Amino acid sequence: MFGFWTEVADRFKSNPNVIGYDILNEPWPANMYKDASLFFKPSKFDREVLFPVAQRAHDVVRAVDDEKAIFFEGAQFPDTQPFLGGKTLSLGFPDTPGGAEYANR
101 has catalytic annotation: no
* Catalytic residue selected from 7, 26, 67, 73: 26
Q: Give CA–CA dist 27/38, Å, rounded.
A: 12
Instruction: Output the 3-class SS for the chain.
Output: CHHHHHHHHHHHCCCCCCCEEECCCCCCCCCCCCCCHHHHCCCHHHHHHHHHHHHHHHHHHHHHCCCCEEECCCCCCCCEECCCCCEECCCCCCCCCCCHHHCCC
Report, as residue numbers or ranges, the catalytic residues.
26
